[in-house]
Each structure stands twice: as C-alpha cells, then as structure tokens.
Structure 1
Amino acid sequence: MRLDKLIEERLQTTRKNQKRLFLTGQVTVDGKSERQENRNADSQLHKIEVAGRQLFTDECYFLVFKPRGVVTANKDAVHETFLDLLREKDRTEGLYSVGRLDRDTEGLLLVTTNGQLGYELLQPAGKVSKVYEAWVKEPVTSADVRAFSSGITFHGGITCEPATLQILETTPGPTKIRLKITEGKFHQVKKMFLARGIKVLTLRRVAMGPLTLPQDLLPGDYRVLTQAELISLRTYFR
C-alpha cells in the first residue's frame, strides 16, 4: 500500500501535514526514514511507523489456479470470471488480477488489492519471467528451440525477446513443452508457436516471477499467499 494513502486513511491527515511528516523524517519503514511518499509497503513485510505510531495495512494476496473457460476480468456478462472463483467473504473491494490469461488458458494468477505491486510486476523493464507448459500439435525440433532463444518474429514483423523453450515429452502425436518468457504480449505464446507453424493445443502458466503453481492446487481453487511467497515478492515493493 502506498505510504501516503496509508497515512491518509489511518491518521486522517491533511495533505500539508502529511508532507511535513515525510519532510521531517517522521515516516519510517523498518527503522529507516522514508521520504518517498508513494513507497509501497505492507505491514506483513515491513514495520511502518509514523511519528512513533505503528501502522498496519490490510492488503489481500491470493494465488489462484484459473481453469479454462474463466476470464481474467472483474465482470463479464457471459463468462465466469476469476472473482467468481472466490468465496464471498474473500471478494474484497479493489481485488484485481496481476496480468491476464486467455479464456482457454489455465494456470497461476496472482490476485491482490495491492495495485502498486501489480504495476511493478508487469513493468517491461523488470523482465519478470512467466513459465508455461503446453501440449502442441506438431513435433518441436532443436531448430525451434534455437529460434525461440534468438527471438521469435510474429507474422507482421513484431519480434519477441529471447525465450527459453524446452521439450518435455514427445509422442507419435503432440509434444509437451515448457516455455519461459519475460514479456506479456497479447496471445504471445500461441503467436510464437504459430510463427513456427506449430499449433498450441493446451496451455498452462505454472510460474510468474518467484511464484509457482502449487501441485496440490486444483483448477478453480485458490489460497492466500504464504509468508514465504510474500517475502519472495519483497523486491517488487518499491
């Protein structure tokens, strides 16, 4: 949560008094004076004090296993949304999905009320990795692996950042792969394979940054982030 917003909500300060608190070093995070008013902090990770008074945040963080058929929108007139997967008591105001997954793609979603954290995770300059596993229709070759590592160019001329492609399993028919990318272009994974003449049959996101999809979580299930998972995101609290 932004420190200026936290102070405004908890202490009911005027804007002028709030600025004075920062300028006079009375706002501290983990014992250090903080003058950046829009600094993102969470009392689950940081000790936040203002004029000697400790403040507490109330942000929510959920790890959701989005199933196929569900859309990553807060509202949809036709399809079930990721919010519909949450119990009523957990549908806190301000929840949103950090990034999107296509309706026919399943896998890991980080759902939170912490908008600034989501912003940092999605910044292109941050190159936060996303890992996908997929079954594709055609055989995948070493030439495909090299092409992905060099940067796939879509039909139309857009070139992607280099990506890591691994062949996990081959059959007489489809091939199972794992792909690690650091971008989030629209339909990116499917378009990358299409550029190589390969059709994606099923697609699942299994990791985003330091977060991984738990093996014991089923499609449609979710849980609160563990403290260890939240700590792993600490570097994105800026």
Structure 2
Amino acid sequence: MRLDKLLGHTGWGTRKELKELCKSGQVTINGDICRDSGRKVDPQEDVVSVGGQVVSYEEYIYLMLYKPAGVVSATEDNVSKTVIDLLPRQYQGSRLFPVGRLDKDTTGLLLLTNDGTWAHGITSPKKHRAKHYQAVVEGHIPADLGERFASGIVLDDGLHCLPAEARQTGDHTIAVVVEEGKFHQVKRMCAAVGLTVTKLHRSSIGQVALDERLQPGEFRPLTEDERNSLSL
C-alpha cells in the first residue's frame, strides 16, 4: 500500500498535504524518516509514525454512534452537520457511511462502517432485522394499537407495511419494533393510527443495543461479537 493512501485513510490529510508532511520530515517508517509519500508500506509489518505518533491502520471500521437530534444521517450535507462530522480526524479519511438512516430529529443507535458488504447484510429486507424504537406521541393511543400494527399497517400512499409490534408504555409513549426501514416509516405508521410522533429514539438493531454509557454524539467501535451477530 502507498504511504499516502495509508495516511489518508487514517485522517492525516489530503494527498497534497501528506506530500508536504513527508517532505517536512515528520513521517517515519520503522523509525527512519521517509520523505517519499508514494513509498510502499505493509500496514501489518511496518510501523508508521507521524510526529512521533504511531498510526494505527484498520481496513474496515465498525462503529456504534449515539446519534443526537439535529444531525443528518449522511456522509456530507451542504446545510446541516452530518454524523461523519461528529467523528475525530482519524476517521475522516476512512470513507465511513451510515448503515441505513435516522431522521434528522431522531436519536439513538446508528451504525457506521466502510464495509459495504457488511452494511448490505444489515439493511437487506430479506434479513428481517428487528429495530426497536421508543416514541413520544400526541393523540389518543388506541386500545388495539398492538393488533393494528401486527396486522400490517397500510400507509396513506397505499404502502403495506410488514407486521410490526407496538405497545403503550406510558400516557404519551409507545414502544415500536419494525423489521423494515422505509422513509419515515415509524412516524407514518403512527400517523395511520391517529398519532403524531414528537420524539423518536432507536435503542437497538437486531441483538445490538445502544451502549448506555454513550452520550449523544459519542461513539465506540463495535465488539467482535456485536459485529458478528449482525452478519448472521
């Protein structure tokens, strides 16, 4: 692998910036100064450092993010802050993207990766991965809420949703479990039974639950068990 590709992947700058970084003598390979940003390195064998800081390279990255309200589930946006903007420099060159999406005002568990095959396995409708949400709603919660969701809600545009789960958890709160991820799906399903969602939070995808230690905007790498559970 070219040195500049490795450094770019780990967030050290653009190719032009990395060329200057090397020329300045700040980059070493196995302790020796390297001024050639095009030099080939082995990420598994060579120790690359920038300004004395060892560069840690991972080809594929898998993160759990506590998405806060007000940011969009996208890699870039001309108006709003994105979930990628929440990450430190070391991840900025890794081509991470959100696995699926949460609405701008929705909070909770969002997965980020640069592994397209793994991501497709999670978002594929064939996998029927359960996604758990908690919603604050306005309106009268119908007594037959669970039965109506279980029978398959029909949205206002005629779309038939797969059977889902819903139950009342408080005077103005409900828990919803869906296996799809269509546009505004939970909000639209609630609207179909006369409810307006004012707050929505996703707590889990499949067997992976949002880490309770994370605060909005914080993230951590997935464990191997978590990653593998989403690959099944």
Deviation at 1:58, TM superposition (A): 2.3
- Match for 1:144: what amino acid? L
Q: Quote the residue 1:225 is aligned against.
A: 222
Deviation at 1:57, TM superposition (A): 6.7
Q: Quote the residue 1:95 is aligned against.
A: 96
Q: Secondary structure at the match of 2:144?
A: helix
Q: Quote the residue 1:60 is aligned against.
A: 61
Larger radius of gyration: 2
Say if 2:116 is the partner of 1:119: no
Alpha-carbon distance between aligned partners in 2 of 1:229 and 1:91, rounded to the nearest angstrom: 23
Q: Secondary structure at the match of 1:205?
A: strand
* Structure 2 stretches lacking a partner, 5+ long: 1-56
Task: Normalising by structure 2, report the TM-score.
Answer: 0.72
| Identity rate, percent | 38
Give a deviation string over 1:62-86, Cα, whole Å, max 9, x none.
1001111100111111100000110
Q: Secondary structure at the match of 1:197?
A: coil
Is this contact kept in 1: 2:121–2:231, CA < 8 A? no
Of 201, 206, 228, 1:204 maps to 201
Of 172, 183, 186, 2:183 maps to 186
Task: Normalising by structure 1, report the TM-score.
Answer: 0.71
Alpha-carbon distance between aligned partners in 2 of 1:123 and 1:189, rounded to the nearest angstrom: 18
Q: Secondary structure at the match of 1:120?
A: helix
- Match for 1:198: what amino acid? L
Q: Quote the residue 1:13 is aligned against.
A: none
Q: Secondary structure at the match of 1:179?
A: strand
RMSD: 1.5
Give a deviation string over 1:185-231, Cα, whole Å, max 9, x none.
11101100111111001001111122111111111110111233123
Alpha-carbon distance between aligned partners in 1 of 2:199 and 2:154, rounded to the nearest angstrom: 22
Paired residue total:
176
Say if 2:109 is the partner of 1:108: yes
Q: Secondary structure at the match of 1:142?
A: coil
Runs (4 or more) in structure 1 with deviation over 3 Å come to none
- Match for 1:218: what amino acid? Q
Alpha-carbon distance between aligned partners in 1 of 2:196 and 2:211, rounded to the nearest angstrom: 27
